[in-house]
Structure 1
């Protein structure tokens, strides 16, 4: 495979706003694969999709871009922090524990001057070059909030808040955070960081603030092995770290809540279909059942988990029990790259080692990286007439098992990324597009 595309000349009568993209295989993901397929794009949306012969017959005299390889529905990175792209030194080594990684992260974050806007834009461009068309981008520093839009990526930035106890939140924290939301030049979701970095009443009120604004929620959950001990009894290494950081939270003062972190968030009203959680490494059967009942998507980030010294999520159980899942890379401060298919491949390895044997594994993991991420963000996913023309082209063979081939051979082999019908990354003429 070469990954090259040929432009097939048409008479001058073709309409300038209609373009046909075709390839030996089109993977809509939301529908069965189409061999020798094509899709018609007009004004950022898909007008038609099907076998190439029929498309060309129905749309004569239109420009056609013929790709080698496979056209795939755009990948959706359901959890990342693009602003930490220039903190890659932290993510290039494996840490012994989550707490150790947190210390290493803080040393760089607070000790090294970083242009957050430039760092986030660099990360967004890296994501585009690997086939990502949308992302849930958690933003701590407001200058990074415009990276998705600046790079031409879809998705939603989520403004993160952490560190407030109930008194500081009521005193000035809420007003300050709301002012940041108002100052942002793009619509934003809200990300209360984690069950252990905000006080109980603050978590409840952040959720209420999101609902009052119609904003989506995104929160880290069950990433470290000591998170349950923290919320249940206010003890353990995570509780010690939180105390050393100077946070004065009710969970610590009152000796815990008696609830695991998932049930704790649910009691505060955080969970629901407009909220998705990141990591979900240490979820038990009751946690998974509660997340299913609330319609809450879990964004899995296995390579990040490996870097911060935690085991991977129970992919087999999540799939078997029917939890809605998505895939995220996290940031370069905890992951070796922003190539989402690398995380899909890692999830596949985990699922097989955990005993998942169903023949649908590859399809469901590609669905998680596309449809699952779209569900987490509340947007349309997959390729279908009427939907957004968000897709990527991978220099891989169509093969007899296209989902498996994409997972095994796709990482690092994206040759083009199209968002809303616009070519955002083209390996052939990279200087001519935004990346």
Structure 2
């Protein structure tokens, strides 16, 4: 198949400065070249050109979501007084949803994400039927198989064998590598027994899979791991889990140290939320190469103030952005979370003029880094030679202004088209705009 050229008045590749009258040459879903339109047209004579309006931006990477919970939007439709209140409400609705079509719910979520410019995601999957939906919808990223609720005893009896057989089936062969498609999601420090958490780290290494875990979303998670007490401990006991940390009266360590001791933290793991991370914990995560995915609108739904985004940025911690699911967020529009992070960072004292750029980078290249999909052929998060050609189109006039600021302030709700795989091997998702076709340029 011959090359196709995508051009626009402004191209935002992320890995290099924005390009006025920019263009991409694409073949077989991968970017061949990026540059000024005149140069790209000269280097690829006879290629078909698709001219997009406004601004073309590297596809957004939603680094924490649960697409299968799209139909549980009624849970996320109000603001709660605490994480624990939300959790009880969610559990009541989820456990009464017998017969729910989780695959169909996930497909609806995938289409909503695409509509808002997301082209890749870290999708946490609780029910196996939703596992293939992410890639069936044309999105890149990783489907993380969630593990929760096992005691050490249940894990030894059935849980471990069930997980390993499921992974072998998903991966094709017993020790096959995940290829950036499948991962493991130990749910949280308080929903799995200590031995199970440690063994999941071992299994992730054995299968060559990445891990993703919820961390310090609740203000009471620290009390739970330190002393086995508090609201989280009561919630866990009410669910009927008899974990070692409860019997022992805690581990004597905070959640980050607790997970680190068990071998879960490293460059092949990223965590979600981190609302209550302190300076030492941020430093430990940074030293281990762990990205923190920030989901501020979900935090707000749960009555939380939001993550320490200013400190994370000032300290140089790797961050990404996620929406979480519609069960705790009003939409799957990732730029809405970027805009709220901008507000939070300013409120927390971040004064740098680079804030819009850094947050847009977190929602693109930062997400790719969190998922380990920022290197090699077909990489995501930026528009550059060898990368998968994923982008979103926004009808924003930012040629004379800061395009990053325009995206943060005016981008939410404004995506008019999303292209995955260059629109050739992949797909073109149109909201209310189509490109001008220029043949034989």
- Deviation at residue 362 of structure 1 after TM alignment: 0.6
Segments of structure 1 that go 5 or more residues without pairing to the other structure are: 1-15, 431-435
Task: Indicate whether 1:410 and 2:407 are aligned.
Answer: no
Q: What is the DSSP-based 3-state SS (H/G/I as helix, E as strand, rest coil) of the residue aligned with 1:64?
A: strand
1:244 alignment counterpart:
238
Which deviates more, 347-356 or 56-65? 56-65
Residues 22 and 36, structure 2, Cα contact 8 Å, conserved in 1: yes
1:201 alignment counterpart:
195
Superposition RMSD in Å = 1.3
Matches within 5 A, 1:331-346: 331-346=325-340
Matches within 5 A, 1:378-397: 378-380=372-374, 381-397=381-397
2:318 alignment counterpart:
324
Residues 326 and 376, structure 1, Cα contact 8 Å, conserved in 2: yes
- Deviation at residue 429 of structure 1 after TM alignment: 7.6
Q: Which of the residues 413, 425, 430 maps onto 2:429?
A: 425
Q: Distance in 2 between matches of 1:184 and 1:211?
A: 16
1:253 alignment counterpart:
247
Task: Indicate whether 1:174 and 2:178 are aligned.
Answer: no
Q: What is the DSSP-based 3-state SS (H/G/I as helix, E as strand, rest coil) of the residue aligned with 2:416?
A: strand
Residues 41 and 48, structure 1, Cα contact 8 Å, conserved in 2: yes
Q: Distance in 2 between matches of 1:320 and 1:208?
A: 33
> In the TM superposition, what whole-angstrom CA distance separates every residue of 1:366-422 from its partner, at most 9, and x where no partner exists?
010001100011113211112111111111112411101011111111111111112
Residues 226 and 251, structure 2, Cα contact 8 Å, conserved in 1: yes
Q: What is the DSSP-based 3-state SS (H/G/I as helix, E as strand, rest coil) of the residue aligned with 1:310?
A: coil
TM-score, structure 2 as length reference:
0.92
Task: Indicate whether 1:132 and 2:118 are aligned.
Answer: yes
Distance 1:151-1:429 versus aligned 2 partners, 3 A rule? farther
Q: Distance in 2 between matches of 1:21 and 1:428?
A: 18
Q: Distance in 2 between matches of 1:257 and 1:179?
A: 31
> In the TM superposition, what whole-angstrom CA distance separates every residue of 1:336-364 from its partner, at most 9, and x where no partner exists?
00010010001001000001001110110
Q: Distance in 1 between matches of 2:2 and 2:94?
A: 45
- Deviation at residue 61 of structure 1 after TM alignment: 1.9
> In the TM superposition, what whole-angstrom CA distance separates every residue of 1:186-206 from its partner, at most 9, and x where no partner exists?
841000000000011110001
Residues 46 and 383, structure 1, Cα contact 8 Å, conserved in 2: yes
- Deviation at residue 180 of structure 1 after TM alignment: 2.4
- Deviation at residue 17 of structure 1 after TM alignment: 2.7
Figure out how many residues of one structure are paired with residues of the other and give that number: 415
Q: Distance in 2 between matches of 1:402 and 1:52?
A: 18
> In the TM superposition, what whole-angstrom CA distance separates every residue of 1:277-297 from its partner, at most 9, and x where no partner exists?
000000000000000000000
Q: Distance in 1 between matches of 2:303 and 2:220?
A: 12
- Deviation at residue 112 of structure 1 after TM alignment: 2.4
> In the TM superposition, what whole-angstrom CA distance separates every residue of 1:75-110 from its partner, at most 9, and x where no partner exists?
000000000000000001111111110111011101
1:55 alignment counterpart:
40
Matches within 5 A, 1:182-193: 182-184=168-170, 187-193=181-187
- Deviation at residue 183 of structure 1 after TM alignment: 3.4
Q: Which of the residues 8, 28, 31 maps onto 1:43?
A: 28
Distance 1:185-1:272 versus aligned 2 partners, 3 A rule? closer
